[in-house]
């Protein structure tokens, strides 16, 4: 069960990283996206969506 949860977490992180890269975001404060936690990636993704609308 834990393995499935880890796989789901990695898939979600990869999905968000791909979306951010498509928006031209590669780092957050000199930290590569793949080094960020899921919650940090989610925050960056939501910020990028909000900024796009502005």
From the list 48, 40, 47, the residue with the least C-alpha distance to 32 is 40
Non-local CB neighbours of 34 within 8 Å, separated by 6+ positions: 13, 17
Mean pLDDT, residues 29-49? 96
Tell me the pLDDT band of 6, cut-offs 50, 70 and 90: very high
Non-local CB neighbours of 28 within 8 Å, separated by 6+ positions: 36, 40, 44
Return the pLDDT at 53: 60
The answer to whether 28 touches 44, Cβ cutoff 8 Å, is yes
Tell me the pLDDT band of 27, cut-offs 50, 70 and 90: very high
This prediction has a pTM of 0.86
């Amino acid at each position: 069960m834990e393995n499935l949860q880890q796989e789901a977490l990695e898939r979600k992180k990869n999905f968000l990283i791909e979306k951010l890269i498509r928006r031209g975001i590669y780092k957050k404060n000199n930290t590569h996206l793949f080094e960020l936690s899921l919650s940090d990636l989610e925050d960056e993704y939501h910020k990028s969506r909000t900024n796009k609308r502005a």
